[in-house]
Amino acid sequence: MIDVKNLTKSFGGHKVLAGINEHIFKGEKVAVIGPSGSGKSTFLRCLNLLERPTGGTITFEGVDITDPKTDINRLRSRMGMVFQQFNLFPHLSVLENIRLAPVKLKRMDKDQAGEKALELLRRVGLPDKADAYPKQLSGGQQQRIAIARALAMNPDVMLFDEPTSALDPEMVGEVLEIMKELAQEGMTMVVVTHEMGFARSVATRVLFMDQGDIAEQGKPEDFFGSPQNPRLREFLSKVL
Amino acid sequence: MEWLMDQLVQTFVTDDRWRYFARGVATTLEVTCLALVLGTIIGVLVAVVRSAHDSQRGNKKGLGHAVLGVLDWVCKLYLTVIRGTPSTVQLLIMWFIVFQWARDNMMLWVASLSFGINSGAYVAEIVRSGIMSIDLGQTEAGRSLGLNYVQTMRYIVIPQAIKNILPALGNELITLLKETSVCGFIGLADLTKGAMIVQSRTYAPYMPYISIAVIYLVLVLALTGLLNLLERRLRASDRR
């Protein structure tokens, strides 16, 4: 589904991604873990071109998205993204947040999109918040709405950039619960996370990134049960 | 007391001179409003071009970048020339050189155009500061949903930016209103010109000039009141 070949990214002279090769298959739930500064967020942000790669290619559903001629906006609408800081639109109500993109991109008319938004709100457990504004909501609620907003475009894959890192501890669970349900429904997911519990129980594959490269990967039971890479062992001993 | 009455009668009543002031106020307001509309349109366009160009750093490939580079250069030239020369001189050049073929009944339009172009340069920098004040995450959230740059600006960034820059925009509007008092240089009968005409008939400067000073002050106070009202309404969404 997403094919990454020799992906590099440098900021100025600083090399953040050192030539990554990876393939993400349809239906996979890939957790990306690693120490801060290892390039995992940059890797994720390259997948929908929020960061432009310095080199290499990324192919999404058969289309080379790094080709300047590709209509990146159309491809992005098929890749949902959830951010660490939620990034809800503070000047719009929750309902308007969710239906903005489908309506403006003419996928649905306003009423259809409103219906869909309410359905999504039920799905993330916040049916009564349609008319609220982001500032009135807790971090956990905001992030659940950000997930609903991304889902409103019916994406084929969901990218999560440390979705629970900015949350108070007691709100982490509610967001992970939504993500778990999404995984069970068969959504393809790439999740950059520090939640080892989530990586272990939900992911079908875990990637460990270190110094801009994927240092080790595997099924969660092998990955956490018998890690090979010394850096991964050291990392796991610190976080588990 | 008698002197004051005499002056009042001379300035306003004799030969229906109050009409110079009434028409003058109308002309001043017309020029201000037309220039405001034009200045806002130019200002937003220039600000969006400049911000788009700035946000492209690090991606210096392709035709889009070249076009944007040229546009940005044009905008910078516009800002430099307009902000570097007096609005009075711009007005004189506009009327006596650029539109030297124009008839006198087009004077109001030419003056509005001149002040609109002038105001646009200041509005552009105000709007740009507003755009920069909005967290980059807002743009990223919009783009990740598949909205293009212009849609993201229009529906997400600019509505929030306007709220932040309203005080500065109000300031610019007040400056604009007062700056139109040089319209008389090209013979347009605005409020100031009206007072000058009356003085040339009565040879008494006190009443006409003090009167228009008071009228300008009242106009500015009314504008300030309106702007405060608008600001309060826009801020309402913050308190919800």
- How does pLDDT run across A170-217, given as a tens digit for each residue? 999 999 999 999 999 999 999 999 999 999 999 999 999 999 999 999
Are the C-beta atoms of B191 and B208 separated by less than 8 Å? no
With tokens 């910078």, the residue in question is B76
Q: Which of A11, A68, A76 is facing B146, going by the closest CB pair? A: A76
A 10 A CB-CB count for A140 gives 22
SS3 at position A214: strand
**pLDDT score, position B240:** 53
**pLDDT score, position B11:** 82
Whole-number Å distance between alpha carbons of A75 and A24: 16
Work out the pLDDT band at B58, boundaries 50, 70, 90: low
Are the C-beta atoms of A86 and A143 separated by less than 8 Å? yes
Is B144–A149 a contact, with Cβ atoms under 8 angstroms apart?
Answer: no
Whole-number Å distance between alpha carbons of A94 and A128: 10
* Domains of chain B by residue range: 2-239
> Which residues in chain A show pLDDT less than 70?
none
Are the C-beta atoms of A207 and A214 separated by less than 8 Å? yes
A 10 A CB-CB count for A50 gives 21
- How does pLDDT run across B124-159, given as a tens digit for each residue? 999 999 999 999 999 999 999 999 999 999 999 999
- Chain A closest-CA separation from residue B155 CA (Å): 8
Q: Could you tell me which residues are beta bridge partners of residue A214? A: A209
- How does pLDDT run across A148-172, given as a tens digit for each residue? 999 999 999 999 999 999 999 999 9
Task: Check CB contact of B145 with chain A, cutoff 8 Å.
Answer: yes
CATH superfamily, with its number, for domain B2-239: MetI-like (1.10.3720.10)
Whole-number Å distance between alpha carbons of A122 and B178: 55
Assigned token pair, B179: 């700056």
Section B106-122 average pLDDT = 97
Whole-number Å distance between alpha carbons of B119 and B43: 8
SS3 at position A110: helix
On chain A, the residues whose CB falls within 8 A of the CB of B155 are 100, 104
- How does pLDDT run across B175-226, given as a tens digit for each residue? 999 999 999 999 999 999 999 998 998 898 988 999 999 999 999 999 999 9
